[in-house]
Amino acid sequence: MLIKNCNIIFLNSTEKGNVLIENGKIKAINPTENYSGEIIDGEGLYLSPGFIDVHIHGAGGYDTMDGTFEAINEISKTIVKHGTTSFTPTTMTVAASDIRQSMSVIAKAKNEGTDGANVLGAHLEGPFISPKAIGAQNPNFLMAPSIENFNEIVGEFEDYVVSITLAPEVDGAKELTKYLSEKGIVVSMGHTKATYEEAKQAIKCGACHSTHLFNAMTPFAHREAGVVGAIFDSEITTETISDGIHISYPSLRVAYKQKTTDKVLLITDAMMACGMPDGDYSLGGQDVVVANGAARLRTGSLAGSVLTLDKAIRNVYKNSDYHIHEVVKMATYNGARHCKIEDKKGLIKEGYDADLVLFDEDINVKYVIVNGKLVHKA
């Protein structure tokens, strides 16, 4: 397959050119030999690496916690239409046996493949979080952070855990953070009421990321900098739900300026109502009402989102002064680095996996290619 006449989004620039795909990989950029196979004319379109979502619970009426391969596959098929070519299905604070069941189907989806976006492994959001920053998680299933409890929730599927969100101030969290980070699992601070000092201590223990910046964490204030202050005052990465609901655009701009576009990942935190009409849904076994683009528990707490990554890119691009390649990096390369696959995904580079998206100047997705195959055409 040859994609010609497109604006190729590289890590640090955008340049007009052609890209040749062969055997699921990017074979050449601006190839010189004549080509007679399938050609996509990308005139007027941008060619981006496929988007990578490292925090997503569900889409298309399905939830990671459904615990079935069908659910993971249907989520993959829904989000691929929006340019997401790889993701880490995200679990919730639920019964240990339910998390373990979801881990087994995430492992299967990674090993056997899906009909949509690639599954890279799991993100465990909870159950080692603070009851005081519960958000839309279920307080009835909180567990104490310990190696024993971690082993109980993941069973034999530890190798499929990419990242885990925990509250660093909860007893046992420091020890578990050290243990998991030494194994190469990304430990992320989230759903936490930690002080600045407790968050900085967690970073010393190996925490290297933070979950949905500003949401379900102690805010920045002039006398107590909180978890937000610790994130800003360190080199760890963070993630934003850039739907204009979870965080205002001025606050997003402040965060990007502080952390730089190298240290922020665009995520959706989407739940099953993503790609579906407004109405009644559930998240981690709790009732959720979706109205006017916001998903909330009946208590009014935000319960994930119905965001897609193409929309997140559009929102940031339209509400900031960043070049398109800088915004796209936050939805592609940064996620690949987070998942430790930046040697094969997240860039348009010879030898890399051909996970690609073609979109117009308004970030409307026109073509999506996964592993060198055209899987969606608008």
Q: Tell me the C-alpha to C-alpha distance, in Å, between residue 311 and each of 49, 62, 203, 288.
A: 16, 20, 31, 22
Helix ranges, the chain (H): 69-80, 96-112, 147-154, 173-182, 196-205, 226-232, 249-259, 309-318, 324-331, 333-338
> Does 266 appear as a known binding residue?
no
> Could you tell me the sign of the dihedral formed by the alpha carbons of 156, 101, 128, 208, in that order?
positive
323 annotated ligand binder: no
- One of 269, 310, 353, 355 is an active-site residue; which one? 269
Cβ partners under 8 Å of residue 148, min gap 6: none
At residue 187, what are phi and psi to the nearest 5 degrees?
-100, 125
Question: What's the CA angle centered on 262, arms 158 and 364, to 5 degrees?
Answer: 90
Flag whether 295 is marked binding. no
User: Tokens 């040697």 appear where?
Assistant: 343
Check the annotation: does 304 bind a ligand.
yes
Q: How far apart are CA 41 and CA 43, in angstroms?
A: 6
Active site residue 269: yes
Residue 338, marked binder: no
- 302 annotated binding-site participant: yes
How many other C-beta atoms are found inside a 10 Å radius of the C-beta of residue 250? 9
CA distance 358 to 7: 9
Q: Is 223 annotated as a binding residue?
A: yes
Give the pairing of strands 58-59 and 25-29.
unpaired
Residue type, 167: A
Gap between the Cα atoms of 42 and 220, Å rounded: 44
Percent helix, percent strand, percent coil in the chain, to nearest 5: 30, 30, 40
Is 364 marked within a binding site? Answer: no
Q: Which residues contact 68 (CB under 8 A, 6 or more apart)?
A: 105
Would you say 130 and 193 are in contact if contact means Cβ atoms under 8 Å apart? yes
Q: Annotation-wise, does 216 bind a ligand? A: yes
**Binding site residue list for substrate:** 136, 215-216, 223, 246, 302-304
* Residues marked as catalytic: 269
**Binding site residue list for Zn(2+):** 125, 191, 212
**Binding site residue list:** 125, 136, 191, 212, 215-216, 223, 246, 302-304
